[in-house]
Amino acid sequence: MRNVSTLLLGSERRAISGLAGLYASRMLGLFMVLPVLALYADALHGATPLLIGVALGVYGLTQAALQIPFGLLSDRFGRKRIIALGLVVFALGSVVAASADSIGGIIVGRALQGAGAVAAAIMALLADQTREQVRTAAMATIGLSIGVSFAIAMVLGPWLAGWAGLSGIFWATALLTVIGLLVLWRWVPPAPRRVRHKDVGMDRAQFKSVAARKDLWRLNGSIFSLHLVLMAIFVAIPFRLVDAGVAMEYHGLVYLSIMALSFVAMVPLIIVGEKRQRMKAVCLLAIGAIAVSLAALALPAFHGKALFVGLFVFFTGFNLLEATLPSMLSKLAPAGAKGTAMGMYSTSQFLGAFLGGTLGGALSSAFGLDAVFIGCALLGAVWWLGMWHLPSPPPLSSEVVALEDTHPDTLDMLMQRLADVVGVEDVMVVPEERLMYLKVNRQALDRAALDELIPPSKP
């Protein structure tokens, strides 16, 4: 009943590489303006700190509003068609922003970029294209590509803006999107029969039960706060770098150094959190580091060279949370409901980005740059207190089992017997998918009893 082979098929390699590249290039286009927009906005008609903040974060509003509708449309009209439609909208937004000479034009362009909300449809197509045995690794590849694209954007954005101006970033984004369309149609394999995967897509029937989980809302609040803070401080950080004597053309090198060091610093903390089951402690440490670093950046002593230390601490905490929060969500989400939980999580992330840019601009406009860091530090303190009450995530992992020969009349009995296996914490059977979703504690799992009920097939 279970196929234990985890070797990727040729079509799976093409799907994973193509869709991960597509997802990453889209995020690259959204993030490249982050470190440069505030500096280059002087050339834009009508620019104010508030409107600059709105321009930074407005993509999050349209993304949050449309990602679920795009996913549902992909169920009905086909994944590739809807993804292509979203990419065309994204490219249109890039062209509008590239052609703009006012901050209003940039806001419209960024809003259109976010309106090409194909993230859920890409994940659904990836699930269609991969077997359940390799799907977790495939999704992890997408997650890794997002982190890498953010780091590259921090370096590439300042360099590209220095060479071709702010409009050059948007033209480059439009070109990447056109290349993405070619990858979608020529490299990604033809889409198979569409199936709703409960561990990937949003399921409206599960929404109420998932929304009632306070532990999941604490994680939603965390990703909301993380991206709120990120967008808010980029209203101020570019100016702080200039004040520290760093010319605009060298900002990319500063971000490269800081991001590289922060990635190195976070790795041992992730290992400790995962191996020693200290995920909550690592999460609290990261939030505390973010709050302290932001409070420090508001002090006069951190307006010069010490700025780099504060940014290093901040981005170490940021990258650590970007890696650990999805892992915690996966452990806490009910069996078969990770897709619904992740949909709510992603929506919270995008709303945080929108509100962060807007609030950062408002604070800067009304009270100055220091107020941005102070406001974000206070939010970090409240955030830390909220996460203190989160139960420590159990050492659970998800397992998806293909039901090839099980007669429907035996499913209830099989579920009951599986639930009695030591280490199996949750079971969900979806007959229409012919899949069974398990949440298991691998440290306590009675693997022999599980294999007796669901024998692995020979590779």
Residue that terminates a domain, selected from 354, 373, 393: 393
pLDDT band at 458 (very low <50, low <70, confident <90, very high): very low
Domain at 381, CATH number: 1.20.1250.20
Q: Which domain holds residue 440?
A: 396-457
User: Rounded to an integer, what is the distance from CA 425 to the centroid of its chain?
Assistant: 27
Look at residue 201 and tell me if it is in a domain. no
Domain for residue 200, yes or no?
A: no
Pairwise CA distance, residues 18 & 308, whole Å: 36
Whether residues 137 and 180 fall in one domain: yes
User: Is residue 181 located within the same domain as residue 249?
Assistant: no
Single out the residue of 28, 274, 11 nearest to residue 174, CA to CA.
Answer: 28
Residue 438's DSSP bridge partners are 399, 427
Domain assignment of residue 300, yes or no: yes
**CA nearest to 297, candidates 241, 336, 342:** 241
Q: Which residue has the higher pLDDT, 275 or 153?
A: 153
CATH of the domain at 415: 3.30.70.100
The overall longest dimension of the chain from CA atoms, in Å, is 73
Clarify whether residues 300 and 158 are in a common domain.
no
Say if 198 falls within a structural domain: no
The answer to whether position 3 is within a domain reads no
The domain total for the chain is 3
Structure tokens at 281: 């402690």
Query: In sequence order, which residues have a C-beta less than 8 Å from that of residue 5 and are 6 or more positions away?
Result: 133, 459
Q: Which helix (H) or strand (E) holds 436?
A: strand 435-441
Claim to verify: residue 45 and residue 169 sit in the same structural domain:
yes
Instruction: Judge whether residue 276 has pLDDT over 50.
Output: yes
d(CA 411, CA 403): 10
79-122 pLDDT tens trace: 899 999 999 999 999 999 999 999 999 999 999 999 998 988 88
Residues 77 and 178 in one domain: yes
Based on the fold, state whether residues 227 and 359 are members of the same structural domain: yes
- pLDDT tens digits, 291-350: 999 999 999 888 888 999 999 999 999 999 998 898 888 777 776 677 788 888 999 999
Give per-residue pLDDT as tens, 55-79. 999 999 999 999 888 888 887 888 8
The answer, yes or no, to whether residue 160 has pLDDT greater than 80, is yes
Residue finishing a domain among 190, 224, 244: 190
403 and 363 fall within a common domain:
no
In this structure, is residue 374 part of a structural domain? yes
- Give the model's pLDDT for residue 194: 56
pLDDT digit string, tens, across residues 25-54: 999 999 999 999 999 987 899 999 999 999
